[in-house]
Amino acid sequence: MIIENVELFLFELPFIKSYQTSYGEMNQKRSIIVKLSTSDLSGYGEASTLPFPFYLPEYTDASYIVLKDLIIPKIIGKTINHPSEIYKFLDHIKGYKFAKTSVETAAWDLYSQQIKTPILQLLGGKNKEIEIGGAVGITQDKNKLLEEISLKIEQGYKRIKLKIKPGWDIKPLEIIRNNFPDVPLLADANSAYTLQDIDLLKALDNVNLMMIEQPLGWDDIIDHGELQKQIKTPICLDESILSLEDTRKAIKLNACKIINLKTWKSWRTNRSKKNTRFVSKT
């Protein structure tokens, strides 16, 4: 199939309610939709970035520039017989995995339409339904916190993730645990702590958390290994894991017990699947 046209759609999706994390408040999601078109089909992908480089270095405006100025000129007019052939045009671009993955995802959409086979089947998926969890942002109002969690449980969410930061951690988690003793509960710090907070992080063991996600530096593995030695709560690494190599390092250093895998982190779908298999066997 020949990629005859590529379109970018920059959109802002307002949230029903604002969402606060350790790095700030969000009122909307600003992302990019990529549309790849052949003579008769169109496929779509998303660069699911944030509008600021507080989660990871790549953010929406940067992704848009890379897509417009570097990626589109490389792929427009090119013939690909399989989505994996996109790699040869983009591998030389360092980083910008959100941007590159959006194009690969659109290519998978095109390919699945062309051969009339669902993407789920092409990627070896088996489950058409999965359980999901609900995330709750930082709020100083105890009643609003409990109301939001009650609503998410009523909506069918099977676990609750609370965003935390210094000064908003043990107390709200204890409130949740006391009111919802049987709900799987996890905390996401988004790199808000350091090893100097070790006593506080140890105290979280008493809340019976399913995990604490990325408590230390966004690009750190070594200190997480030291922390995991001293706390019982399983550490989940997210921002630190951007490749299979990162996964191997984290496991070798016992830096975590859980890893947050996302398709764009490895940018190539085959690498994402390899990373998933590696974690499953470890």
The catalytic residues are 163, 262
Sheet holding 258-259, edge to edge: 134-136, 160-163, 185-188, 211-213, 235-237, 258-259
Among residues 221, 262, 275, 277, the alpha carbon closest in space to that of 58 is found at 262
Which position has the token pair 């099977």? 158
139 within 8 A of 149, measured Cβ to Cβ: no
- 93 CB contacts (<8 Å, ≥6 apart)? 66, 70, 71, 100
Residue 94: phi, psi to the nearest 5?
A: -80, 135
In angstroms, rounded to a whole number, what is the distance separating the alpha carbons of residues 43 and 35? 6
In angstroms, rounded to a whole number, what is the distance separating the alpha carbons of residues 166 and 216? 12
Q: Which residues pair with 235 in a beta bridge?
A: 212
| E strand or H helix at 150 | helix 142-154
- The amino acid occupying position 140 is Q
- Residues shown for the chain: 282
- The amino acid occupying position 49 is T
Quickly count: other Cβ atoms within 10 Å of residue 237's Cβ: 25
